[in-house]
Structure 1
Amino acid sequence: MVLSAAPPPAATASAATGVESPSVIPQLQRIEVTGSAIRRVDAETAVPVTILRTEELKKQGVTSTEQLISRISANQSSVGSGRSIGSSSGGAAFADLRGIGPNKTLVLLNGRRLANNATNAINGSGVDLNTIPFAAIDRVEVLRDGASALYGTDAIGGVINFITKKSVTDGQLTLGGSTPTRAGGGETNNFSGSWGFGDLDEDRFNVFGVVSHDKQQSLKAKDRDYTYNYQPGRGLDYSSGIASPANYSQGANASNPLAASGCNAPGLISRSGICRQSLWSYLDLVPETEKTSFFGKASGKLADDHTVSLEYFWARNLNRTQIGPGLLQGLQVQPGTPYYPGNGITPGPSQFALDPTQPVDVNWRESEVGPRKHEDDNVGQRLLLTFEGTLAGWDYNVGAAYNQNKVTNAIQSGYVDDRAVANGINTGVINPFGPQSADGRALLDASGVDGDYGTAVGRVKSIDGRISRDIGDWFGAGPSALALGGEYRKEDFHQDFADFAANVQSLGVDPAATVAGDRTVSAQYAEVNVPVLDSLELSAALRHDKYSDFGNTTNPKYSFRFQPFRELVVRGAYSEGFRAPSLYELYNPNFTTFTVANYNDPRLCAGGRPSNGGLANRDCAQQFFSRNGGNQSLSPETARNVTLGFVYQPVTNLSVGLDFWWIKIANQIAEFPESAVFEQPDLYSDRIVRKADGSIDHIVTGLANLGKVKTNGVDVSLDYRFAESRFGQFGANLQGTYVDRYVYQQQLKGDYIDKAGDFRGGDFSSAGAVARWRHSLTGTWNQGPLGASLTNRYTSGYNDYNRAYHDKVGAWSVWDVAGTYTWRDTAQITVGVQNLFDREPPFSNQTSTFQSGYDPRYSDPFGRTLYSRVSYNF
């Protein structure tokens, strides 16, 4: 089975279920499972752990950690590389267990921390999944229980532990690719190779390396017509009032040179006497990405019970995106200049008369410069030295690590020096209303800017160690066990910007705001496991952390495991969590950018119509300036987690599990939702900053402690393997998550807002709905060298963003099919189809991402996709 929270008997992953295999397995080894520092013979745990085998997922066309995470039902939405379109995420992808934010899911590689993504994607507080070397991963263990005393109490949503191959003694080459059956792009090609030598048991050493290269072509919005961003009858209007030719205004009047013709030009829409522009034809739905990675490990036995290992990984993700042409606001065309409306070149307004002695105000879309193109170069690496073994009856594991993430943001084309262009319009050289003269064209070309404009680096240097052993049979029910451990780490980051970025308005970058921060964290923890009865085990853990900038915190965890009879295990846990603000959340300087969506000024364009002196091209359906950034006054987040569940195995081939969970978070850290500012302007009037003329200058959406989050639900697992017959071996596996409640506050002591099954606005990572139900259902068949699988991926629907026009977003349900042929132990061929029935994403009128017409957090625009994979062992 691919997802095995409750695997079949005799499977090595059965320990994660808490169900003892009825098979007798001699000479069981003591192993460690994610969630506990104590090595156990049976490894049955009191907390829920899901295990994903990457080899099985690869047969289903999964080729990246980003795709892998989407198969976990407890992971609420995909904060993937597609979100880099129109943002500065560096092409990063993040996990989000329980939907409480990627900054509350702890991502590990071989049980140890990685450096967080260095950009402001989620305020520098999450690990970029695209920098984990997928080709080297053997399995992924998902702890669906939060606030780990072992790994850190900031793991409020849970822990995802990527575990690499332990050793490799041969070679393998793999080639693969995929192609959507619809035209337009999105094709992928991938290659990986591994080779190793030496046997740890016989030769006392092993050395191996894994390399991979993956490339995906971009997919354009214009190649999926259902993503058109102007569908007013369904409540979707992603057009912009900043257009080309430019809208202009004087006093309370506004117009456009093409207004009299009904804005009869490609991409333009007539409304309220001005022209709005749809940028749909320029946009990427999926970026072009190119990933390269290397993982190497050398291990040696110093003695029979002592092993030293040195591992290093390097991963690079090049991410290229395209959005609409740039925009300039606050420009003026002066009287007497060639392009002043009514002077002969630019038509004057027909609805009103201009005062020819006064300038006209202009907001201009720079379509003649072309679309804005970015490249983000995201590099992650880690060097880790470990010693492990057994000494004087104690199992020990000690390590020292250096982690780094570096992101370089670059402009490829489509940007200009705003000051030079503004001066060109002011002096009459550049025409914002029509074709350019030779001088205007030359000035635009000379004003172009490109190159690296931002570099961010985050590092974590750490040492850690833990020891564990049995400490006696206290109650006659089996040996108790004790684990002790500690950790010391130093975190730092810095971000620098090029000087030219100050002259590019739409970048939202302030070069004077170069920023850096650092902190040290030390921790000590203890864990004890005590069998009280033959059927009952109790565990307790305590972790103490000391932050150089937030003082001390001590947090407990308690759990139990009760097995009244062999077929049933009941388990539960209580824990407390603590997450200090990330360095980015504290020290990121304030900066100004544009709101993601279009809004109406609630005072000057109430209901979408200009009033009280408002202007259609300034106050209605506009992207306003938004001021946000870090906050050094932030308080830590605290949490309480409870889990209670069971695993029942009535017969050898069937296992059923239910795990209920409850999470309560206080002092949640998030950007204030931009949508709330405009939806409740009286309540949040202090967040709207106005100019002297009464129009909006900017809104304030910076980071703050916004109150509490309460959520609860249940994880469901079912695994059945049919008796083997002459027709082969059949199996079925279901992993699902149901969210019963998800409420949050937008301000301290404020009203609770329901997000379960309801779309709500928010920042980069928090906007969207929490789906009530998600599952992955897989059926398998194997006979000799042949194998096949059929998988259903399902996410329930929810109430849409603008319900006055479109009530419900439909469920996203797709079927995948794959077949595999294995020739001896030498070669394997896999062919398959993802989204077998070519399902289009359900319509959504959300406007919190640059992709429109659907919600990229829950569905994708590829359609039916064919894939193949060939592996050769040598």
Structure 2
Amino acid sequence: MLKPSVLAAALAAAFLPHAQAQSNTAEPSQRLERVTITGTNILSTQREGANPVQTLTAKDIAASGKTTLPELLRAITANSGNSYNEQFTGSFSAGTAGISLRGLGQQNTLVLVNGRRVAPYATAQNMQEVFTDLNSLPLAAVRRIEILKDGASALYGSDAIAGVVNILLYDDYQGSEVRVGLGSSTEGTGQRERSLELRHGVGDLEADRYNLTLSFDTVKRDRLDQSQVSWLRDNDFRSEGGGSLAWAVTNYYGSDPTNKLGGEQGPLKLTNYGDITPGKTGTVLAYNPAIYKTLIPGVERYHASARGTWRFSDDAQAYAEVLLGKSRAELIFAAPLSVASNLRAWNNRTQSLESISVALPKTHPNYPASGSNVVTATLFDLGPRMKQDAVHFQRLSAGVRGSTGAWDWDASLLQSSSRMRETVQNFGNRYEFERALQAGSYNFADQSKNSEAQRQALRLSTLRPAQTELYAFDANASTELTQLRGGALGFASGVQLRHERMDSRTSDAVLSGTELRPAINIIQGTRRVGAAYAEFNAPLLKSLTLNVAGRLDHYSDFGSAFSPKASVRYQPLNWLVVRGNASRGFRAPSLPENTQSTGVSYGSVVDPRDPISPTVARGVTNLTTANPSLKPERSRNFNLGVVVSPDSKTSFGIDYFNILQKDLIDTETAKYIVDNERNLPGRVVRDAQGRIVTLTRQFKNQGERTVSGFDIEASRSLSLAAAGELKLKAQLSRLLQFTSAPGEGKAPINGAGNNEYGSLPAWRSSTSAQWSVGSWSTILRWTRVGSYEQTYRPTPAVAPRVRAANTWDLNVDWQVTPRLLATATLQNLTAAKLPYDASSGSFDLTQGDPRGRFLGLKAHYKF
């Protein structure tokens, strides 16, 4: 298999000699429409601007074979890590999907629709990241997507440090078309997918002076559980370097898992302790957690959009736009409730967790003849804990735009909201548990003896609501001020006013202390933001253009920040563009970070001082609090690139990026807190056995981070005469540096090419070949996620590197008639498995999905 570095060299050899051979050949001049490209507010006809922008057209989207917007966007190579989709089922945002350019987190990538913002998801990812849920946005209405891969705070504001994804919808569509699709796994998992897209438009803006464009799409996908995937269903990774039998040990007395509570029942099996925890002896009761793990939720989504435009004069038009989304995700959230010495419930009066006793009274039928009466047990007869997330999204906007004299202008109002309702079943009732424990009415050792009435009394169903709202006013204008030596001096300016609100609550059962082991993500805050920005585009020479921009933002909760940017574009030859830019930006503290918020979540950490399993990750409770004294994160971005385009069919470009962030907002990692327990008094709470129960964390400004790397893009079209046409494309992203200190007083560590700060492979690439002949078109795409170093190595047996992942996708189009197009798609053609990652105990969900080969069939008809 070609390595990305070898492929890059081959591409350069293939494209650059051709560029030199054509250096003296000028292409005939073409009349190009002046458009606004993401990254500037000034109209331009330049094919390649001063900023690196990747464009996905409607044809690219159709040829990708992707059914949803997140599947399409998350495949770009600049999405290098630390982004999540619906596979992250253990989060407060189950069923969502975000994007994280440069691995900087979803809160640093700004997602726009038609150049305007949308309301973020109703609650925060990982209790910190405010992000745009791509699953709430339509695909059928998308005309083009532009991905700006450098900092853009000077134009768009706080959350554009890593870049911007601008989703442009149809605004003058005419005609009707429908696309239906069916898909199914070929791996025997039983997962199926059904999709439908409709688009309809009437009216010609030029002839009729109006247009109305409507679209609708829906997708329904079956749930995929771990027990349905052949290579994951046993949860046995002993054949992997340092892997183990990843079963859960339960049902025992005290701190010795071999002191068993009862015998085999339900999924419980007598298991050799050493198979689960190397070095241990004896037998334990354990179960395979794969039967209680959803890998990809079952989803049902609906999106509708409407865009109306009325040209009420030759120089002005009014427009209104509606986006609506409704989705539902259902999944197995976790195994049945387990109770142990770390059992907690929430005390809303003290805003803290309080311990719930699991010590058996002497009258209990399971009271031991000798030894500890404290139990660790799983209540299998209550059933797995289930979750359903229902989301309603809307975005309403209206405005007017036009020209007055030498000025082009646009003004709009926008309202957007995201509402989430999360329901769960089979959680535990704290007060009934305490009653049953003392009364001896629940039998842990033989749960078949429990009455259905007792089980039902212990089961708890809850509702957790959350909502975000965004109101915005935008106005901008642009003109040409004067003539310079190289052309017209362009100028643009604008203002923006925003009101943001986030109200993420918890259930009444949590607030009353009723729910056992509660997960809490309470966020209640509002803010007002005002901004003014200006931009100059100065063609100093025919070949040299300077662009400068600046933006002043004022936030009601922390103050003001100024973001400048300067870009240079130099084209000494027709086929050569050299570009570069430098900017400063900031990320305002998010509402979860600096308002009234409280988080209780559950994670795991390897605790070297754990008396039972010092080398195996131990489940712990994380208590996270906000900090109203936070400062914004500051950033400095630098980009430098070269684009070679000897003709309209050939392009080769390379762009270097370097991002420095200061005053990063974060909490220490669980590993750092555990490793430095003696220096962090009160942050680690242990039970009587010496096992970690709770870790306390607070957001604060700490340290800085430097991220650098480069992107390579190449394309070439070849005429094969009677054999048709061949189009070659390649995108490669190389992460050189992702350097930050893991904690205060610690030396910086470079996380590029390892999983110190989340999995960040040094190389990511996407290479495709499209062959078109007659009524047929075939695309073969190779996606490679490079190997990365394993920083989690509790034993030398753990492999030092996580293997690379290579995926091949095949898409075949057949133009049956001028109106009917048939498509067949094979995702993951070779049914490649994701590589084992010891730090996750399985595979890293941010780097791929476990579906295996997936066949899709689509029919597209234009009326």
Structure 2-normalised TM-score? 0.89
Contact map agreement 1:705 1:747 (CA 8 A) in 2: no
Asked if the contact 2:427/2:516 (under 8 Å) is kept, the reply is no
- Who is 2:761 aligned against? 771
Distance of aligned partners of 1:720 and 1:479 in 2 relative to their CA distance in 1, 3 Å threshold: same
Q: 2:437 maps to which residue? A: 425
1:14 alignment counterpart: none
Secondary structure in 1 matching 2:443 = coil
**2:660 paired residue number:** 664
Q: Kindly indicate whether residue 479 of structure 2 is the aligned counterpart of residue 479 of structure 1.
A: no
Per-residue CA deviation, residues 493-530 of structure 1 (Å, 9 max, x unaligned), is 112333123322233138xxx65211111000110011
Task: Determine whether 1:74 maps to 2:101.
Answer: no
Match of 2:561 among 553, 568, 577: 553
For 2:272 and 2:491, the matched residues in 1 are separated by 70
| 1:360 matched residue in structure 2 | 373
The answer to whether 1:155 aligns with 2:160 is yes
The amino acid of 1:507's aligned partner reads: P
Q: One-letter code of the match for 1:326?
A: L
Q: Counterpart of 2:364?
A: 337
Paired AA for residue 125 in structure 1: V
- Does the C-alpha gap of structure 1 residues 254 and 865 become closer, same or farther in structure 2, counting only changes over 3 Å? closer
Measured against aligned partners, the alpha-carbon deviations of 1:765-819 in whole angstroms (never above 9, x if no partner) come to xx52211111111111122322111111111011225333222211111111111
1:437 is the counterpart of 2:449: yes
Equivalent residue, structure 2, for 1:110: 114
Instruction: State the percentage of identical aligned residues.
Output: 26
Matched with 2:783 is 793
Quick one: which of 854, 858, 863 aligns to 1:869? 858
**Cα deviation code 1:454-495 (max 9, x no counterpart):** 111111100011111111113x22111111111010111112
Alpha-carbon shift at residue 694 of structure 1 (Å): 5.0
1:358-381 CA-partner distances (Å, limit 9, x unpaired): x71112212111111100112221
Alpha-carbon contact 1:425-1:431 (below 8 Å) kept: no
- Selected match of 1:415 from 414, 423, 427: 427
Change (3 A) 1:868 1:573: same
Q: Which one is further off, 675-684 or 48-57?
A: 675-684
Give SS of 2:431's match. helix
Equivalent pair of 1:468/1:481 in contact (CA under 8 Å): yes
Which residue identity does 2:98 align to in structure 1? F
C-alpha contact (below 8 Å) 1:91/1:378 kept by paired residues: no
Task: Give the secondary structure class of the aligned counterpart of 2:594.
Answer: helix
Q: Which residue of 1 aligns with 2:507?
A: 498
The 3-state SS of whatever aligns with 2:719 is coil
Structure 1 segment 58-137 matched on structure 2, within 5 A: 58-77=62-81, 79-122=83-126, 123-137=128-142
SS at match of 1:42: coil
Find the residue that maps to 1:573 and give its secondary structure.
strand
Q: Residues of 1 paired with 2:76 and 2:178: CA distance?
A: 28
Q: Are 2:174 and 2:200, in contact at CA under 8 Å, matched by a contact in 1?
A: yes
Contact 2:158 2:588 in 1 (8 A): no
Q: Alignment partner for residue 736 of structure 1, among 708, 732, 735?
A: 732
CA distance in 1, matches of 2:295, 2:650: 42
- What stretches of structure 1 of length at least 5 have no aligned partner? 1-18, 343-352, 609-619, 761-766
Match of 1:347 in 2: none
Equivalent runs, 1:550-589 vs 2, <5 Å: 550-587=558-595, 589=597
Task: Judge which range, 633-642 or 234-243, deviates more.
Answer: 234-243
The range that moved more, 221-230 or 391-400, is: 221-230
Match for 1:489: what amino acid?
A: R
C-alpha spacing 1:778/1:606, structure 2 compared with 1 (3 Å): closer
Cross-structure match for 1:703: 699
How big is the shift at 1:223?
2.0
The partner residue of 1:281 within 275, 285, 291 is 291
Q: Give the whole-Å Cα distance in 2 for the aligned partners of 1:307 and 1:43.
A: 27
Give the whole-Å Cα distance in 2 for the aligned partners of 1:189 and 1:724: 37
Pairing of 1:294-373 with structure 2 (within 5 A): 294-322=304-332, 323-330=334-341, 331-342=358-369, 353-354=370-371, 360-373=373-386
| Equivalent position SS for 2:592 | helix
CA distance in 1, matches of 2:158, 2:483: 30
Kept after mapping to 2: 8 A contact 1:153/1:576: no
For residue 4 of structure 1, what is the aligned residue in structure 2? none
Counterpart-to-counterpart distance in 2, 1:757 and 1:570: 29
SS at match of 2:86: helix
Count of aligned pairs = 809
Q: 1:749 to 1:521 in 2, by over 3 A?
A: farther
Cα drift, residue 724 of structure 1? 4.7
Partner of 1:345: none
Deviation at 1:276?
A: 4.2
Distance 2:849 2:642 in 1: 34
Aligned 8 A contact 1:637 1:667 in 2 = yes
Rounded to whole Å, the distance in 2 between the matches of 1:262 and 1:292 is 42
1:807 paired residue number? 800
Once the two structures are TM-superposed, the CA of residue 632 in structure 1 deviates from its matched residue by: 2.0
Residues 114 and 652 (structure 1), Cα distance of their counterparts in 2 relative to 1, 3 Å cut: closer
SS at match of 1:700: strand
Contact 1:601 1:696 in 2 (8 A): no
* Amino acid in the other structure paired with 2:779: S
Q: Give the secondary structure class of the aligned counterpart of 1:456.
A: strand
TM-superposed CA distance for 1:634, in Å, is 2.1
2:355 match: none
Q: Which residue of 2 aligns with 1:7?
A: none
Match of 2:406 among 393, 397, 421: 393
Q: Please provide the CA RMSD for this pair.
A: 2.5
The whole-number CA distance in structure 2 between the counterparts of 1:86 and 1:652 is 48
Which of 727, 743, 750 is the aligned partner of 2:746? Answer: 750
Does the residue aligned with 2:597 lie in a helix, a strand or coil?
A: coil
Contact residue 153 and residue 563 of structure 2 kept, 8 A = no
On the 8 A contact 1:558/1:575 being kept in 2, the answer is yes
Secondary structure in structure 1 of the residue aligned to 2:673: helix
Following the alignment from structure 2 to structure 1, what is the Cα–Cα distance between the partners of residues 505 and 635?
34
- Return closer, same or farther for 1:630/1:383 CA change in 2, 3 Å cut-off: same
Match of 1:235 in 2: 242
Indicate whether 1:460 and 2:470 are aligned.
Answer: yes
Q: Is 1:193 paired with 2:198?
A: yes
Partner letter of residue 30 of structure 1? R
CA contact (8 A) 1:238 1:598 kept: no
Cα shift at 1:638: 0.6
Contact 2:468 2:500 in 1 (8 A): yes
2: CA distance, partners of 1:455 / 1:20: 64
Counterparts of 1:561-710 in structure 2 under 5 Å?
561-587=569-595, 589-595=597-603, 597=604, 599-600=606-607, 602=609, 604=611, 607-608=614-615, 621-682=617-678, 687-690=683-686, 694-710=690-706
Q: What pairs up with 1:501-516 in 2 under 5 angstroms? A: 501=510, 502-509=513-520, 515-516=523-524
Residue type of the partner of 1:328?
Answer: V
Contact 2:359 2:375 in 1 (8 A): yes
* 1:659 CA drift (Å): 0.4
SS of 2:254's equivalent in the other structure is strand
Give structure 2 stretches of 5+ with no counterpart. Answer: 1-22, 275-279, 342-357
Indicate how the Cα distance of structure 1 residues 267 and 116 shifts in structure 2: closer, same or farther if over 3 A, else same: farther
Select the residue among 795, 810, 828 that pairs with 1:817.
Answer: 810
- In 1, distance between residues paired with 2:501 and 2:271? 47
Amino acid across the alignment from 2:814: Y
Q: CA–CA distance in 1 between the matches of 2:634 and 2:162?
A: 12
For 1:416, the aligned partner's letter is: G
Letter in 1 for 2:207: E
Per-residue deviation, 1:153: 3.9
